[in-house]
């Protein structure tokens, strides 16, 4: 996730961007790109100093932009598929920080997810196995699914992850997708 500052000087002079440390606060950003795009690394505060050097016609100018992200998407990782036998497979989705509230849906391919013994195209927690960290936050899910091979040596399926951040109802800005090839 990024934030584009889209700053411009009425003078037409070039601008420079600098991230400023916000003392004692959790940092939502660690860098700012030369074009003013700020990669978001988590929730917290972000302070960016924008400067115009000035010239013979225009004096130097510096302004600051500060924003706070109450909720932010952090990195999700997918592992698998692990095939156990025949058409069964397992996928693991994990999150680096915060709690993971998720729904997973098959968007393409002949795969289904196991939801308490029922085969479905969509499953939500607690339909799959979860692991928690020492603080009790959900960190990863192990999804059990079935690939309808129908005599094929392998199939390809695409899964969509939608999630709330830290267990609230804020959805990801865009779903995360994972396409996998399942070979028993």
* Alpha carbon distances (Å) from 73 to 2, 80, 100: 10, 22, 10
- The residue range of the domain holding 38 is 2-69
The one-digit pLDDT tens for each residue of the chain (184 residues) are 678 888 889 999 999 999 998 776 667 788 899 999 887 766 678 899 999 999 999 999 999 998 877 654 445 666 777 765 667 888 877 765 555 557 788 888 888 888 888 888 888 777 777 777 777 666 677 888 888 888 888 888 888 777 654 443 334 444 566 677 777 6
How many whole angstroms separate alpha carbon 39 and alpha carbon 4? 9
Residues 13 and 45 in one domain: yes
Residues 153 and 82 in one domain: yes
Residues 89 and 171 in one domain: yes
Residues 82 and 141 in one domain: yes
Residues 44 and 91 in one domain: no
pLDDT at 62: 94
Whole-model pTM: value is 0.52
């Amino acid at each position: 996730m990024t934030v584009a500052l889209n700053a411009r000087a009425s003078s037409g002079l070039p601008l420079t961007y600098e991230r400023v440390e916000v003392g004692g606060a959790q940092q939502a950003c660690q860098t700012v790109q030369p074009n003013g795009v700020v990669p978001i690394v988590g929730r917290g505060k972000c302070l960016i100093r924008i400067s115009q050097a000035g010239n013979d016609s225009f004096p130097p100018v510096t302004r600051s932009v500060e924003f706070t992200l109450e909720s932010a998407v952090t990195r999700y990782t997918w592992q698998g598929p692990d095939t156990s036998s025949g058409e069964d497979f397992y996928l693991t989705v994990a999150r680096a920080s915060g709690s993971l509230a998720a729904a997973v849906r098959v968007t393409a391919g002949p795969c289904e997810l196991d939801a308490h013994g029922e085969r479905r195209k969509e499953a939500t927690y607690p339909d799959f196995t979860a692991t928690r960290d020492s603080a009790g936050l959900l960190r990863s899910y192990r999804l059990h699914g079935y690939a309808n091979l129908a005599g094929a040596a392998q199939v390809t399926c695409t899964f969509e992850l939608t999630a709330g951040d830290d267990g609230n109802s804020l959805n990801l800005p865009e779903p995360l997708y994972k396409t996998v090839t399942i070979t028993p």
